[in-house]
């Protein structure tokens, strides 16, 4: 069983006891001692937490909604276990508020939020920080009940409730008058408070396109009813930075009682301006910024945590009146990798901060300028975000390396493995080391990811045999072992080796599945690289959830990953992994809501 | 042979006669007639071109540097043919200035710029627009000579010369005094003009971190010496939007003679703020914006054309004082696909405007809001950027479809194929239609991409036979056909089927190659999907180029793609394609410059 590595500063983390393996990051927090132009960690104190005020006016709260808004991206469905892993990583990052999900969407969603509230919501770091655990709810009693039922186990629970306020949404989606909306807001915010929740966040959806006078009115009613944070979303990603900043400034100037609550931003990225809009929101007075890791989210996603946090870290003191966050940026790279892996939303090579090329120059060879003075072309040092340069991490293990060497290296990489987990990884390691002379850190991470980031095993791969090419009929024979230990063997022809193997698996597993996505990447250079495959599947209609903003039923999709030196084998591993994830998903049907009732918001 | 489809408005394009196949886009330009909240094409006239002034003060020139700054991204090396294809697409987009390359980097770079100057630089659209063709040069005579040698064949040639002006670059990279830099700028801008080039763009590199008084002085000298555009780069992507806007405003207020030239922006994206910085630059008075398709470029890339252009199109009238461009946005999607394909830099699913999810909601099922009123969640209609929704494009062809049906559908997709090209695609189409019931537009595009976007054929794949799996030794047998028609057969074992096949190919082709990247995606849903594989390889040291900013020698890398229903076959096709690209590359060695001489800028 894996246990969390203690961080020398943030300890003890004793509440992180779990029976599932999870990703651990062991690098100690330390001040960057690099060149004068790289970034220094702020040592500012994190102010005490009060729902509706921040003792230090320069402090910015980071509200991460990767698990709610991010998870609603196409294909990004995560299991409860994956959500818990990410929530832990968010706690390590020092995120102030973790929006853990939309509990009314399904029982699975509710359970995931509850688990995060219990485990991560009771984590106390040495500086006294406890992440707020937040659940989303539409402005109706059953949603708010579900949210409270899930978050109330956290030390700092929050309910986040929303309703649209733009004319276009009122007319076309809600079909309500302005007066009706104001009544709903007043009643539902008060209802959330009445449950015992003293931390209520209210969002006027599509605020960016709402009539300002009506917006002020709605916000005033929310404050009077007990809201402690007012989140201003630019739902369609339509605003320019100056415009969004002005919106926040106007709200601050024109809303009675606004001085007693926190203003928050939530910017979609449809025009590529989410990060800039968020920063202008902060400059105009917002003190909570809603973001996601890697900027994932519906359509073009949200403002990304890493961009917003690093911009404030780089320029907050000089250009933003001393604004600062308490995000421990050294955990950014691991958070980014984990979210990319679990959500299946890979970041592009030129993604700011976390893209593969973000710190690379052409061919990795343009090092001259860097050696002369790192600041010439680089303003953030890779170490600031927890990135080890690949040429520094180097090649570390070979086929003669033993279990102890493997365990030590994994420990350095942040994974503490023991017992069966270590055995399994070691066995795979030796099998690959037999064929590949040296295994780099990247190889090890791919293996770990394959072994650890796997769902509950229902079917496991025994053997696989494949014949294919341009000349004949592609044929695969597959041996799967069921949860009962019984071996099943099937063969099939197909249009290619993967098609043949998947058909053979289907003939054993016998559940209807549609393959939605299939992708593969080599994780290291060289022809003998380890290939990492990812598939996304959709099962039958019993795997459903509800969309937060529209209330519509959406079909769950499940991703699986597999690693190996044989691309057909890794493809099969990925497919079996996705099947296991789907079969293990608690597909309690969503409470039946017709599309008509779902529109009724109270 | 392919010929360019005539656009009913922009015709004739008779100068686009070429012997190579290229990508064509046939959709006629038309005004969007969708809902009131979607975007209308601006019908503003494109002002006449004068190097140093724009008759309409609201007109924004778009300067695309995909082929120069974008191509210098790691792994993004393109062949001359690929560069020419992209330059043509940029002309279709209506880009004002195409920066076609850095001619001093290598003879291959010079030849590519020259070819683009000759072919695309003489293209006259019906509205009289002729794209300016620009070549980059450091501030030294040999670079400027090379740039002029390449661009002078265009109707509107431009030389873009640059030198660093920030203290950090002066001290650590150039090792020159301020006085020396001013002298170099004065002499080299005048030298460029003296060659007969009346359109000279000057960039003070790292302007964002330069001392402002010194910057004004350098710019004044450049203007006096004959510069017609002054480009202000935020080289390290360090500035915030308001700060960059202020920099442009300050330059506008404090530089003598600035009213006689065009101010330009060039924003790197290191903090995710490139688009916002660019827009703030325009608001502050810049009238040329440097961008790249998909935002590619070194590190986190540049401001992306599609984001900047769509932001101006959406909000220019209302919030930016009526600023407008004359980009024909319906060509954006095709440009994005082409650049992703050629550069190998795929865009993330949540990339603004052009990402796969940019117009998609969860599971593609959340259509209710969209059907009610598209404007509820969407401000740009997919048709505005040339995107057909996949559920509208549907399934169009099956195995009974004939050559005519295929040709017609391809025509609708924008590809005009005849003769051998059509035969080749039709043959592949039939082979796949035998196995896959229906072929969608995406399938067809993958096939076209595989057939058309291929380098000169030196080796072609005959047959392939593979055995692999968990049980035995992976073995591949490959038959390659040389350019002389001779068949070569080799077999090899390997750690997996692809490793085995690549080793067999290596034993035939006999050139030293390192595989740097390997990735695969299925292009359509379903287990019988077509897989598209991409590899990046590096050959020996003879394939070198020079880095524009550092003057250092960089090693060329070559990408290849392959499509097919058998992932091993598509992997082999991709490898053969990359090998062909590498073997066809004119690897004239770069003129020897030690890292010392490369620093001497005049």
Task: Please indicate whether, in this complex, the C-beta atoms of B350 and A301 are within 8 angstroms of each other.
Answer: yes
B565–A467: do the CB atoms touch at under 8 Å?
Answer: no
pLDDT band for position B39 (cuts 50, 70, 90): very low
* pTM of this structure: 0.78
DSSP state of B319: H
Report whether pLDDT(B95) > 50: yes
What domains sit in chain A, N to C, each tagged with a CATH number?
A: 61-343 (3.20.20.70), 455-583 (3.30.160.270)
B565 vs A461, A499, A552: nearest CB:
A499
Q: With the CA atoms of B147, B152, B157 and B162 taken in that order, what torsion angle do they form, in degrees rounded to the nearest 10?
A: 20
In tens, the pLDDT along A360-390 reads 643 333 333 333 344 555 567 777 887 764 4
Contact B362 A517 (CB under 8 A): no
Residue B450 pLDDT greater than 60, yes or no: yes
**B 468-497 residues inside an 8 A Cβ radius of A:** 468-472, 474, 476-477, 494-497
Nearest CA in chain A to B362: A74
How many whole angstroms separate alpha carbon B327 and alpha carbon A10? 53
- Provide φ and ψ at A234, rounded to 5°: -100, 80
- The token duo for B27 is 């959709």
Task: Give the model's pLDDT for residue B404.
Answer: 79
Phi-psi region of B32 (alpha: psi -120 to 50; beta: other; left: phi over 0): beta
Asked if A353 lies within 8 A of B300 by C-beta distance, the reply is yes
Residue with the larger pLDDT of the pair A511 and A544: A511
User: How many other C-beta atoms lie within 10 A of the C-beta of residue A497?
Assistant: 31
Across all residues in chain B, what is the average pLDDT?
Answer: 80
Model confidence at A509, in pLDDT bands (50, 70, 90)? very high
Q: Report helix, strand or coil for B9.
A: coil
Question: B416 by DSSP, 3-state: which?
Answer: coil
* Backbone conformation region of residue B479, classed left if phi is above 0, alpha if psi is from -120 to 50, else beta: beta
Residue A376's pLDDT is 52
pLDDT tens digits, A123-141: 888 778 999 999 999 999 9
Within 10 Å of residue B589's Cβ, how many Cβ atoms? 12
Range in B266-270, B309-313, B457-461, B462-466 with the lowest mean pLDDT: B457-461
Instruction: State how far residue A461 is from chain B, nearest Cα, in angstroms.
Output: 10
Q: What are residue A164's phi and psi, to 5 degrees?
A: -75, 145
Residue B587 has pLDDT above 70, yes or no: no
Residue A436 contacts B, CB cutoff 8 Å: yes
- HEC string for B85-147: HHHHHHHHHCCCEEEEECHHHCHHHHHHHHHHHHHHHHCCCCCCCCCEEEEEEECCHHHHHHH
* Cα three-residue angle B437-B443-B447, rounded to 5 degrees: 120
Please, which pLDDT band fits residue A75 given cuts at 50, 70 and 90?
Answer: low
β-sheet bridge partners, residue B538: B514, B557
Between A540 and B293, the higher pLDDT residue: B293
Query: How many other β-carbons are positioned within 10 Å of the β-carbon of residue B244?
Result: 27
Per the CB < 8 A criterion, the answer to whether B547 and B298 are in contact is no
Residue in chain A closest to B474 (alpha carbons) equals A566
Per-residue pLDDT at A138: 94
Q: Which residues lie closer than 8 Å to B73 by C-beta, 6 or more apart?
A: A349, A350, A357, A362, B296, B297, B298, B301, B343, B345
Nearest to A420 by CA among A403, A405, A408: A403
Mean pLDDT of the region B126-137: 91
For residue A63, give the nearest of A158, A155, A143, A138 by alpha carbon.
A158
ipTM field: 0.77
Determine the average pLDDT of the residues in B222-249. Answer: 93
Q: What is the arithmetic mean of pLDDT over A586-591?
A: 43
For A:128-167, CB contacts with B below 8 A are none
User: Which chain A residues are closer than 8 Å to B377 by Cβ?
Assistant: 235-236, 299
Q: Say whether B550 and A299 touch across the interface (CB within 8 A).
A: no
Q: Which of B23, B42, B6 is nearest to B81 (CA)?
A: B23
Q: What pLDDT score does A12 carry?
A: 32
In sequence order, the β-bridge partners of residue B21 are none
CA distance linking residue B246 with residue B233, whole number of Å: 14
Give the tens place of pLDDT for each residue, B360-387: 643 333 333 333 344 555 567 777 887 7
Higher pLDDT, B409 or B201: B201
**CA angle at A217 for the pair A216 and A223, rounded to the nearest 5°:** 85
List the single best residue of B344, B379, B527 to mutate versus A (max A Cβ within 10 A): B527
Average pLDDT in the A196-218 region? 93
What tokens were used for B428? 């592949």
Of B70 and A73, the one with more pLDDT: B70
Q: How far is B125 from chain A (nearest CA, A)?
A: 29
Q: Is B275 on the interface with A (CB under 8 A)?
A: yes
- Cβ neighbour number for residue B46 with a 10 Å cutoff: 18
Higher pLDDT, B471 or B246: B246
Q: How far apart are CA B93 and CA B119, in angstroms?
A: 16
Task: Report the pLDDT averaged over residues A401-411.
Answer: 77
Q: Pick the most confident of A16-25, A397-406, B156-165.
A: B156-165
Spell out which residues of chain B touch residue A269, defining contact as CB-CB under 8 Å.
350, 352
Write down the mean pLDDT value for chain A: 80
Count of CB atoms within 10 A of residue A510's CB?
7
Which DSSP state fits A561? E
CA distance readout (Å), B139 to A23, B92, B554 = 51, 32, 20
Lowest average pLDDT, out of A73-87, A230-244, A584-598, B298-312, goes to A584-598
3-state secondary structure of B84: helix
Across the range B507-530, mean pLDDT stands at 75
CA A321 – CA A308 distance, rounded (Å): 15
CA quadruple A561, A562, A565, A566: dihedral sign: negative
Joined together, the tokens standing for residue B148 give 């002029």
Predicted local confidence at residue A508, as pLDDT: 95
Q: Are A121 and A96 in contact (CB under 8 A)?
A: no
The residue assigned the tokens 């979607």 is B38
Give me the residue from A173, A241, A307 closest to B271, CB to CB. A307
Q: What pLDDT, on a 0 to 100 scale, did the predictor assign at position A586?
A: 55
Nearest C-alpha of chain B: how many angstroms from A97? 23
Cα A265 from Cα B153, distance rounded (Å): 52
Least confident of A292-301, A392-401, B174-183, B242-251: A392-401
DSSP codes, B342-399: HH--PPPTT-TTTSTTTT--GGGT--HHHHH-GGGT-SS-GGGGTPPPHHHH-EEEET
Distance CA B190, CA B586 (A): 33
Q: How far apart are the first and last CA of chain A?
A: 46
**Which residues, 6 or more positions from A209, have their beta carbon under 8 angstroms from its beta carbon?**
A166, A167, A168, A235, A236, A238
Contact check, Cβ <8 Å, A357/B522: no
Tokens encoding A447: 């293996």
Nearest CA in chain B to A372: B172
Give the pLDDT confidence score for residue A80 in this predicted structure.
Answer: 81
Q: Is-contact B13 B26, C-beta < 8 A? A: no
* pLDDT: which is higher, B225 or A468: B225
- Tokens representing residue A66 in the block: 């990767």
* pLDDT bracket for residue A337 (50, 70, 90): confident
């Amino acid at each position: 069983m894996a246990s969390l590595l203690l961080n020398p500063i943030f300890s003890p983390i004793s509440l992180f006891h779990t029976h599932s393996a999870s990703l651990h990051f062991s690098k100690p927090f330390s001040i960057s001692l690099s060149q004068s132009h790289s970034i220094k960690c702020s040592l500012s104190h994190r102010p005490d937490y009060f729902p509706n005020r921040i003792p230090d006016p320069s402090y910015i709260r980071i509200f991460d909604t990767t698990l709610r808004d991010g998870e609603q991206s196409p294909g990004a469905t995560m299991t409860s276990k994956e959500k818990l892993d990410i929530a832990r990583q968010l706690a390590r990052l020092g995120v102030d508020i973790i929006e853990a999900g939309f509990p009314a969407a399904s029982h699975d969603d509710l359970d995931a939020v509850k688990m995060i509230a219990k485990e991560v919501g009771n984590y106390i770091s040495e500086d006294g920080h406890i992440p707020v655990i937040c659940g989303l709810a539409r402005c109706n009693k059953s949603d708010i009940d579900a949210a409270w039922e899930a978050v109330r186990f956290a030390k700092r629970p929050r309910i986040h409730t929303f309703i649209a306020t733009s004319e276009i949404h009122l007319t076309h989606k809600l079909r309500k008058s302005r007066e009706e909306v104001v009544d709903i807001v007043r009643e539902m915010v008060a209802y959330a408070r009445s449950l015992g929740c003293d931390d209520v966040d209210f969002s006027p959806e599509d605020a960016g396109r709402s009539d300002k006078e009506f917006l002020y009115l709605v916000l005033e009613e929310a404050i009077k009813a007990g809201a402690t944070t007012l989140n201003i979303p630019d739902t369609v990603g339509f605003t320019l930075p100056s415009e969004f900043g002005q919106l926040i400034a106007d709200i601050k100037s024109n809303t009675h009682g606004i001085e007693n609550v926190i203003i928050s931003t939530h910017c979609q990225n449809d025009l590529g301006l989410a990060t800039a809009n968020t920063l202008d929101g902060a400059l105009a007075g917002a003190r909570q910024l809603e973001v996601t890791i890697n900027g994932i989210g519906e359509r073009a996603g949200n403002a990304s945590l890493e961009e917003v946090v690093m911009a404030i870290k780089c320029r907050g003191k000089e250009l933003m009146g001393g604004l600062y966050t308490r995000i421990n940026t050294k955990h950014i790279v691991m958070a980014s990798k984990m979210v990319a892996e679990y959500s299946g939303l890979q970041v592009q090579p030129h993604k700011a901060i976390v893209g593969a090329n973000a710190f690379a120059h052409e061919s990795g060879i343009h090092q001259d300028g860097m050696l002369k003075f790192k600041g010439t072309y680089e303003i953030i040092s890779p170490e600031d975000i927890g990135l080890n340069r690949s040429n520094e991490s180097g090649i570390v293990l070979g086929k003669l390396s033993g279990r102890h060497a493997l365990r030590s290296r994994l420990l350095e990489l942040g994974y503490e493995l023991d017992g069966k987990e270590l055995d399994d990884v070691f066995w795979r390691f030796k099998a690959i080391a037999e064929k590949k002379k040296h295994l780099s850190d990247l190889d090890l991470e791919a293996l770990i990811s394959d072994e650890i980031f796997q769902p509950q095993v229902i079917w496991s791969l025994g053997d696989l045999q494949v014949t294919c090419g341009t000349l004949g009929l592609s044929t695969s024979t597959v041996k799967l072992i069921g949860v009962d230990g019984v071996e099943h063997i099937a063969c099939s022809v197909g249009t290619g080796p993967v098609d043949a193997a998947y058909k053979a698996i289907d003939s054993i597993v016998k559940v209807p599945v549609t393959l939605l996505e299939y992708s593969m990447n080599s994780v290291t250079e060289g022809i003998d690289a380890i290939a990492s495959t990812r598939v996304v599947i959709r099962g039958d209609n019993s795997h459903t959830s509800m969309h937060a903003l529209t209330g519509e039923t959406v079909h769950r999709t499940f991703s699986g990953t597999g690693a190996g030196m044989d691309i057909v084998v890794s493809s099969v591993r990925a497919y079996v992994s996705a099947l296991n994830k789907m079969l293990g998903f608690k597909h309690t049907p969503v409470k039946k809501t017709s599309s008509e009732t779902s529109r009724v918001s109270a």
